[in-house]
Structure 1
Amino acid sequence: MVARQFVAGGAALGSLTVLGPPLGLLWWALAPPAQVTVISDGATAPYPISEDLFARDGYYAIMMVLAGLICGYVGYLAQHHYSVRTRTDLRLAVLLGLTAGALLGAVLAWQTGVTLDAALAGPAIAEAEPGDTVEAALLLRARSALVLWAFVAVLQYGLFDAVSLWRGDLPRLSREPHESPSAAGTPAVSPPGRPGTVPE
């Protein structure tokens, strides 16, 4: 039983972690470009003032919220199906795996997007003269958005678990190998004797 819980938790953690780089690539592709003014020695100022600098954080936050909703829904359905089939309670193991995987995936998505953009924006800023306007490098200013994926996934997962608990369709746990039917609360039934005999 413990081995199944470790496998389920590890599968949830790994599945969400590997989603991080593709989401970072998608963020880099969808985030709107923003213009900044080079001051000196590679330093930039947010001028002209543009809402696109903040829209990049918004794109990342929306993507993390959507990822949390989808992963929480799919994660709970998958663990419920496997729990019913194996008669093992995997809810906590999968929840911990989802939480850790979402946190790691969010960090990987952030770093992937920033790294991809730095390869393009970095040289342009370095070669620009003071006063030139160039495209700003992709940054995540609202670091609190890193927890959105995990937060929403846990909420979605908990909501489905509460509904399942209310409906009473939680998976029944399998009995331990050494547990006898009488110990589990099921009375043992002795075979009926032959007619006309006295049981010993």
Structure 2
Amino acid sequence: MTREVRAFAITVLALAALGLPAGLLWSALSPRPPYRVFEQTPALADPSTQALIAADGWFATITGGLGLACGALAWFLSRRVQLPVLLGLCLGGAAGALAAWWIGTTVTVGVVTVEASAFPGVTFVPGPLDLTAKGVLVSWPMLAVGLFGFLEGMHGYRESPLRKPHPPTGDGAPPPG
């Protein structure tokens, strides 16, 4: 029992800790939407900006890639305690994604550029980094668990006795079943 609890706890804590560098990487790579400040009031300069979608895309790419890497590594390392590790991938992936979201929205890493104002009296500032599609938060746990299940299914199929054909009978009829 202690082996299972330890495997679950290590998986959850490792994935949650990976959320911190993932959030910093997301903050460094994602563009910030430009906001214009006019009379002390910030407003989104271009409501059709692609920066909002790009931030979601970068988050899904980073956390999805980590999910695939964690799922494959967990499958290769967890031959004896698969269920606790699988549950740890789900919970730890969700915790890592939430940690990446929190760090990415809190800490600004990298160069943030905003184009110059064309109108006098209007200044542009970089907007905050945030997710507009909250569904990308599940990309890490979903891909980790999915790849783990796929690899286990392929391994189980390869080792399955159902894969081996029945020995032929002398009369050409299928074996009794």
CA apart distance, 1:51: 1.1
Q: Please, what TM-score do these two structures have when normalized by structure 2?
A: 0.78
Q: 1:167 aligned to 2:166?
A: no
Q: What is the number of equivalent residue pairs in this alignment?
A: 152
Q: Tell me which of 142, 145, 152 is aligned to 1:154.
A: 145
CA apart distance, 1:37: 1.6
Q: Provide the C-alpha distance between the structure 1 equivalents of 2:102 and 2:140, rounded to a whole number of angstroms.
A: 15
Give % identity: 32
Q: Provide the C-alpha distance between the structure 1 equivalents of 2:68 and 2:147, rounded to a whole number of angstroms.
A: 6
CA apart distance, 1:48: 6.9
Query: Cα RMSD over matched residues?
Result: 2.3
Partner residue in 2 for 1:66: 65
Contact 2:33 2:44 in 1 (8 A): no
| Cα deviation code 1:162-190 (max 9, x no counterpart) | 01211228xxxxxxxxxxxxxxxxxxxxx
- Runs (5+) with no aligned partner, structure 2: 113-120, 161-177
Partner residue in 2 for 1:11: 10
Q: Provide the C-alpha distance between the structure 1 equivalents of 2:158 and 2:83, rounded to a whole number of angstroms.
A: 19
Q: Helix, strand or coil for the counterpart of 1:163?
A: helix
Q: Provide the C-alpha distance between the structure 2 equivalents of 1:110 and 1:42, rounded to a whole number of angstroms.
A: 26
Computing the radius of gyration over CA atoms, which structure comes out larger, 1 or 2? 1
Partner residue in 2 for 1:174: none
CA apart distance, 1:135: 1.1
Q: Helix, strand or coil for the counterpart of 1:149?
A: helix
| Cα deviation code 1:75-118 (max 9, x no counterpart) | 110102xx2xxxxxx11110001110000000000010110139
Partner residue in 2 for 1:103: 94
AA of the residue aligned to 1:13: V
Contact 1:36 1:48 in 2 (8 A): no
Q: Provide the C-alpha distance between the structure 2 equivalents of 1:159 and 1:97, rounded to a whole number of angstroms.
A: 17
Q: Please, what TM-score do these two structures have when normalized by structure 1?
A: 0.69
Aligned pairs for 1:1-200 within 5 A: 2-39=1-38, 41-47=40-46, 49-80=48-79, 83=80, 90-117=81-108, 131-168=122-159
Change beyond 3 A, Cα 1:75–1:134: same
CA apart distance, 1:3: 1.1
Q: Provide the C-alpha distance between the structure 1 equivalents of 2:132 and 2:8, rounded to a whole number of angstroms.
A: 31
